[in-house]
Amino acid sequence: MLLTRFDELTFTPYNRHVMKKDLHPEYFPEAKIICACGNSFVTGATQKEIRVEICAQCHPFYTGEEKLIDTAGRVEKFKSRRAAAVTEKKPKKVRVKKVQ
């Protein structure tokens, strides 16, 4: 039997892609997300219902109630330690050349 180049390319084992069955989980396009604050919304997911602790309605970053950490105390503490280190100068070590 004479095989043409086309036959060789189409019937090689490398071109026979077999997909595994049931590899991906079931997708629910109407999944309900429920937050601890009571807010709920619908989105697509791999679970029918998802319960979360925090969402965009109650997250401090999105609600504007974010508490900023006062770093002024840290900066002042650093500056005072730096100033103390500069005032306490250590004597320099004198290098002695080795005699050969």
Question: Which one is predicted more confidently, 37 or 76?
Answer: 37
Of the candidates 25, 3, 22, the one whose C-alpha atom is nearest the C-alpha of residue 12 is 3
Decide if 93 contacts 99 (C-beta within 8 A).
no
User: What is the overall mean pLDDT for the chain?
Assistant: 78
98/5: higher pLDDT: 98
Q: What is the pLDDT of residue 71?
A: 62
Q: Which CATH number fits domain 23-66: 4.10.80.400, 1.10.287.310, 1.10.10.10, 3.40.640.10?
A: 4.10.80.400
What's the gap between Cα 81 and its chain centre? 35
**In the predicted structure, residue 27 carries a pLDDT above the cut 90:** yes
Could you tell me the residue ranges of all domains in the chain? 23-66
Residues of the chain with pLDDT > 90, as a percent, come to 25
Q: Place 93 in a pLDDT band, splitting at 50, 70 and 90.
A: confident
Question: If you average pLDDT over residues 79-100, what whole number do you get?
Answer: 79
